[in-house]
Amino acid sequence: MSGTDRLKSDRPRAVSDFYETPYGLIEGTKLFLKPLFDETYLNSYPYYLDPGCGNGRWGECIKDWYANKIWVDGIDIEERTKSPAYTSWAKGNFLACDFGDLTYDFVGGNFPFGSAEEFILKSLECTVEGGYVFSLLRLNFWGSQRRHWGLFDDFKPIQCWVSSRRPSFFSANGGGKTTDNFEYAMFIWQKGNRPDYTKTSTFYWNYDKRDK
């Protein structure tokens, strides 16, 4: 099989760009996400928003990290069964939502790659000053002249953690447990923090027993 046969573009695309993140990968991000959050929210009751929440895997894991002492909101463009881990669950277009004065301590998950930049900017809008925005994205998200002079010039990530293992996404269209030809990384922004450079490292993870 040639390498190009493993590109997502050569397979049926999931509805609404929905690919379930492996539980093992999410738990692997706890190594660097939770200490970062705890620097600011250790003694408070944080508010977390999961845009494009899908089946609720990110909220389920993050709520467990905080022993349920966290408010978890989810929004997805498709009608999905509410995960019990979420305090609030809504069907809607995140990019078109008017959050008014409502803000969150951290916003993130697995943004749809096709509109990732729009999701990042919208997430920053509804994040408190000093709060965090994070998303699992293809590593080649870095490789854009437009973003170099735009998004990354205005809002440079504070950290980028590259997954040493290529994840297998579970397509809502019934796609098999396969990997593609892309490397993935967790990009992290902090609202109000404009670093001169992005701290970069790698992380490793194993599939969870919930990943079947």
Tell me what pLDDT residue 9 has: 43
Tell me what pLDDT residue 4 has: 37
Residue 152 sits at φ, ψ, to 5 deg, of: -75, -20
Q: Are 82 and 106 in contact (CB under 8 A)?
A: no
Ranges of the chain with pLDDT below 50: 1-16, 172
Q: What's the rounded Cα separation, in Å, for the pair 166 and 180? A: 8
Tell me what pLDDT residue 149 has: 95
Tell me what pLDDT residue 175 has: 52
Enclosing H/E stretch for 186 = strand 184-190
Assigned token pair, 26: 């999410």
What domains are there in the chain, each with its CATH number?
Answer: 3-8+23-203 (3.40.50.150)
pLDDT in tens, 155-209: 999 999 999 999 987 554 555 566 778 999 999 999 999 999 999 999 999 999 9
Q: Are 127 and 155 in contact (CB under 8 A)?
A: no
Residue 17 sits at φ, ψ, to 5 deg, of: 60, 35
Task: Enter the pTM of the model.
Answer: 0.88
Tell me what pLDDT residue 179 has: 73
Tell me what pLDDT residue 68 has: 86
Residue 185 sits at φ, ψ, to 5 deg, of: -150, 155
